[in-house]
């Protein structure tokens, strides 16, 4: 299992869970902005690269370089473990002249890797990741670990930010054994969002907001404001991929979020729930199809 520095703590934890060897990928940034990637020798025919693709543009190219380097070392079965996979929300040509970015990213990964594993890819218009990443690719759900975390929180209701989140929110809430609702969201710009909260019942005093991604954090801010205005005394938030910076975390607290937690798919100050276990389990339970491709993942 080979990792870049930005995803190293999670990669080490996954390797440890699996009893696999972990190796650092060496990365050098030249003064002109180019990157040089160097892998430590790979003794096995099957190997994995671990890297999250938050702030994706430079990282993506470096991952492709690392894939090329491992192939040159003789790796036959190459797995990309990307706890956060970017560009999955750009899944349609929303306005004339735009690229279908999700497809471009998916096809490049499908060509470079034999297998791609991610967590909670944002798939609205397609059902399976393999429809856009043409190899043995799949997205695993973080609902079980978020639901388990929520179980001991004493919440009256679990709240999803938009109608599309319903199946996921229901799954989290059922695992936690808590009632759930979803809001209606209207987005008119990157940072311009309106959220309508449905009836919560008179007895509801504490709520856990859950979402797969918080990017600008505006969705969470608006939903929190609405929940507070409805008499909810305690609003906490649990998200899978925390992509926002510290300034937004401050705004969230000002809006009334008491506790903010995220999974470690993206390294962030709010990380409190690890995906290492579910990733390791997924990798162990997917044996290599190639008979000679035994290795460290
Ligand atoms: C949207 O469908 C997602 O589930 C999130 O609600 C959205 O990406 C959050 O974005 P932001 O934090 O920028 O409001």
pLDDT 10s digits, 43-98: 779 999 999 999 999 999 999 999 999 999 999 999 999 999 999 999 999 999 99
The C-alpha angle 266, 57, 217, rounded to 5 degrees, equals 45
Distance of CA 295 to the CA centre of its chain: 26
Q: How many whole angstroms separate alpha carbon 8 and alpha carbon 51?
A: 8
> What share of the chain has pLDDT > 90, as a percent?
87
What is the distance in A from the centroid of ligand 1 to the CA of 224? 14
Q: How many whole angstroms separate alpha carbon 146 and alpha carbon 231?
A: 25
Residues 6+ apart with CB under 8 A from 186: 193, 194
Q: How many whole angstroms separate alpha carbon 206 and alpha carbon 248?
A: 22
Condensed to tens digits (0 to 9), the pLDDT of residues 165-192 reads 999 999 999 999 999 999 999 999 989 9
* pLDDT on residue 249: 87
Give 222-260 as a DSSP string: HHHHHHHHTT-SEEEEEEEEE---HHHHHHHHHHTEEEE
| Residue of 211, 252, 270 with the most ligand 1 atoms within 8 Å of its CB, for mutation | 211
What is the distance in A from the centroid of ligand 1 to the CA of 215? 6
* pLDDT on residue 138: 97
- Helices 246-255 and 218-229 pack at an angle, to 10 degrees, of 10
What is the distance in A from the centroid of ligand 1 to the CA of 44? 40
* pLDDT on residue 40: 86
**Residue 112 has what DSSP assignment?**
H
């Amino acid at each position: 299992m080979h990792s870049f520095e930005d995803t190293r703590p999670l990669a080490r934890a996954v390797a440890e869970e699996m009893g696999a060897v972990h190796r650092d990928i060496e990365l050098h940034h030249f003064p002109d902005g180019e990157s040089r990637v160097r892998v430590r020798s790979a003794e096995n025919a099957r190997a994995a690269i671990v890297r999250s693709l938050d702030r994706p543009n430079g990282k993506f190219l470096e991952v492709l370089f690392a894939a090329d380097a491992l192939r040159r070392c003789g790796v036959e079965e190459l797995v990309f473990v990307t706890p956060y996979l970017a560009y999955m929300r750009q899944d349609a040509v929303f306005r004339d002249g735009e690229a279908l970015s999700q497809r471009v990213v998916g096809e490049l990964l499908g060509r470079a890797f034999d297998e791609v594993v991610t967590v909670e890819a944002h798939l609205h218009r397609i059902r399976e990741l393999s429809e856009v990443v043409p190899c043995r690719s799949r997205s695993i759900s973080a609902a079980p670990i978020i639901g388990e975390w929520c179980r001991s929180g004493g919440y009256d209701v679990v709240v999803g930010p938009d109608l599309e989140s319903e199946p996921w929110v229901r799954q989290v809430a059922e695992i936690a054994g808590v009632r759930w609702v979803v809001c209606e969201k209207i987005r008119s710009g990157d940072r311009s969002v309106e959220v309508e909260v449905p009836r919560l019942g008179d007895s509801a005093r504490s709520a856990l907001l859950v979402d797969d991604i918080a990017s600008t954090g505006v969705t969470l801010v608006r939903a929190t404001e609405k929940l507070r205005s409805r008499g909810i005394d305690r609003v906490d938030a649990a998200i899978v991929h925390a992509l926002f910076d510290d300034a937004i975390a401050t705004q969230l607290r000002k809006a009334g979020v008491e506790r903010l937690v995220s999974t470690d798919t993206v390294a962030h100050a709010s990380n409190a729930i690890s995906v290492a276990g579910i990733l390791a389990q997924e990798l162990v339970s997917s044996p290599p199809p190639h008979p000679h491709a035994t290795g460290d993942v």
